[in-house]
Amino acid sequence: MMNTMNASTGFSNFQLHLGRSPCLIPPLVPTELPDDLRTAASKAEDLISQIQTDVLEAQDNLLQAKVFQEHYANVDRGKEFVYVVGDMVMLSTFNRHREYNKKGDRRTAKFFYKVVAVHPK
**Concatenated DSSP letters for 4-61?**
PBPTTTSSBHHHHHHSS-SSSPPPP--SS--GGGHHHHHHHHHHHHHHHHHHHHHHHH
Tens digits of per-residue pLDDT, 55-101? 899 999 999 999 999 999 888 887 777 788 888 887 766 665 555 55
pLDDT for residue 28 is more than 90? no
- In the DSSP assignment, the letter for residue 94 is G
Which region holds residue 86: left if phi is over 0, alpha if psi is between -120 and 50, else beta?
A: left
Q: What is the mean pLDDT of residues 40-63?
A: 88
Is-above-0.85 flag for pTM? no
* Selection from 14, 19, 26 nearest residue 51 by Cα: 19
Are 108 and 99 contacting, i.e. CB atoms less than 8 angstroms apart?
A: no
Contact 110, 93 (CB under 8 A): yes
